[in-house]
């Protein structure tokens, strides 16, 4: 279920990159990022017992001491965020200043807004590319029509952020993924999930964003585990996806495959996804069962109640088919 929209890495039907990272690659760290040892530790294979203990207790997942973001003055004015539809051409200078000073809300907001503009830019490029390919190919009339329709849909998805991104070009020295990761490592659960599922990184420019892809590989899997431990059911679904060995953004391995964990998370997700997504999840469950032994299935089923008992963050009715975290810029205002 991984797709690439133009150059933006988005979980969907395909993921094609020229280079893959290995576990020996070194993360190029941003000195302003807070590094949580539980997030950055080496990804070793987990046993079912270890995973469930981690997910039903904060120990082992989020208890490590985290290096704080740079300190900054706290005032009522400092805590305010601009309205959600404020163009980045207006809000960016102040948000960037605040983010660099350590304001988690500003990092959260920039992580969302810059990702939207990255998406919009890449959607436009993808739309233009589809049109060019359709006009230059030997495809039938119906195939050309289908591709033109796809191009229009891509353009429409990019245009939804026109007001936010109009007149704004992301500076070359600004890396959107760092803001998203800062908010995630500061403990903001929605940012953890956003960074893991739809990082603002380009697959077509994989080599030029290698530091971002390395940070993604080193952090995304464990950020999902932390989000799941804190009750995010979207994280449950994508942990099932990763543990099942399905492809991820950039084609990188985020966690070692584990069919028992994949099945446990899939079963624990069944009550959280919406009616449209449930058949696809059920097919994945069936595929997992078909390749597992009776003992593995029993082990997975035995731990579903523990995972299901983790208090939910109320993200029910999840539409997995869209493969996108719903837009909720207000989530940044809820940070303490």
pLDDT digits (tens, 9 = 90+) for 265-297: 999 999 888 888 899 999 999 999 999 999 999
Asked if 81 and 139 count as a contact pair (C-beta separation under 8 A), the reply is: no
- Neighbour-count burial of 176, counting CB atoms closer than 10 A to its CB (0-12 exposed, 13-18 middle, 19+ buried): buried
At residue 20, what are phi and psi to the nearest 5 degrees?
Answer: -120, 150
Nearest residue to 201 via CA among 23, 21, 1: 21
How far from each other are the two terminal CA atoms of the chain, in whole angstroms? Answer: 35
For residue 185, pLDDT over 90 is answered with: yes
8-10 and 3-5 strand pairing: antiparallel
Which of residues 56 and 228 earns the better pLDDT score? Answer: 228
With vertex at residue 192, the alpha carbon angle to CA 190 and CA 196, rounded to the nearest 5 degrees, is 115
For residue 7, pLDDT over 50 is answered with: no
Asked if 30 and 262 count as a contact pair (C-beta separation under 8 A), the reply is: no
> Coil, helix or strand for 159?
helix
For range 17-43, the mean pLDDT: 32
Domain boundaries, the chain: 3-334
Confidence (pLDDT) at 292: 97
Q: Tokens in use for 257? A: 């495959």
For residue 245, pLDDT over 90 is answered with: yes
Minimum mean pLDDT among 61-75, 124-138, 221-235: which range?
Answer: 61-75
Q: Tokens in use for 191? A: 């940012």
For residue 325, pLDDT over 60 is answered with: no
DSSP of 29-80, one letter per residue?
A: --TTS--BHHHHS--PPPPHHHHHHHHHSSTTTT-S-BPPPPP----HHHH-
- Neighbour-count burial of 245, counting CB atoms closer than 10 A to its CB (0-12 exposed, 13-18 middle, 19+ buried): middle
Confidence (pLDDT) at 259: 96
Cβ neighbours of residue 273 closer than 8 Å, sequence gap 6 or more: 237, 281, 317, 318, 319, 320
pTM above 0.85, yes or no: no
Which of residues 281 and 317 earns the better pLDDT score? Answer: 281
Q: Residue 251: left if φ>0, alpha if ψ -120 to 50, beta else—which one?
A: left
pLDDT, tens digit (0-9, with 9 covering 90-100), for 88-118: 999 999 999 999 998 999 999 999 999 888 8
């Amino acid at each position: 279920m991984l797709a690439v929209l133009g150059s933006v890495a988005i979980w969907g039907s395909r993921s094609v990159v020229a280079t893959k990272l290995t576990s020996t690659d070194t993360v190029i760290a941003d000195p302003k990022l807070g590094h949580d040892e539980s997030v950055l530790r080496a990804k070793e294979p987990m046993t079912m017992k270890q995973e469930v203990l981690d997910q039903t207790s904060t120990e082992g997942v989020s208890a490590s001491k985290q290096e704080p973001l740079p300190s900054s003055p706290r005032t009522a004015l400092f805590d305010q965020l601009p309205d959600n539809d404020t163009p980045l051409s207006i809000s960016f200078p102040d948000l960037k200043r605040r983010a660099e000073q350590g304001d988690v809300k500003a990092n959260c907001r920039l992580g969302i807004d810059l990702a939207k503009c990255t998406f919009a830019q890449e959607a436009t490029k993808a739309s233009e590319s589809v049109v060019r390919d359709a006009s230059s190919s030997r495809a039938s009339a119906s195939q050309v029509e289908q591709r033109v329709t796809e191009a229009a849909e891509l353009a429409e998805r990019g245009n939804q952020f026109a007001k936010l991104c109009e007149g704004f070009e992301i500076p070359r020295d600004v890396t959107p993924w760092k803001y998203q990761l800062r908010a995630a490592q500061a403990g903001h659960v929605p940012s953890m999930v956003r960074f893991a599922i739809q990082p603002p990184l380009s697959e077509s420019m994989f080599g030029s964003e290698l530091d971002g892809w390395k940070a993604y590989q080193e952090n995304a899997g464990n950020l999902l585990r932390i989000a799941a431990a804190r009750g995010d059911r979207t994280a449950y679904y994508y942990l099932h996806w990763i543990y099942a060995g399905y492809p991820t953004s950039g084609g990188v391995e985020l966690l070692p495959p584990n069919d028992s964990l994949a099945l446990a998370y899939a079963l624990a997700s069944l009550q959280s996804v919406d009616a449209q997504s449930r058949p696809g999840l059920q097919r994945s469950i069936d595929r997992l069962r078909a390749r597992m032994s009776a003992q593995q299935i029993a082990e997975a089923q035995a731990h579903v109640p523990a995972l299901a008992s983790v208090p939910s963050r109320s993200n029910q009715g999840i539409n997995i088919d869209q493969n996108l975290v719903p837009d909720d810029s207000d989530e940044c205002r809820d940070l303490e």
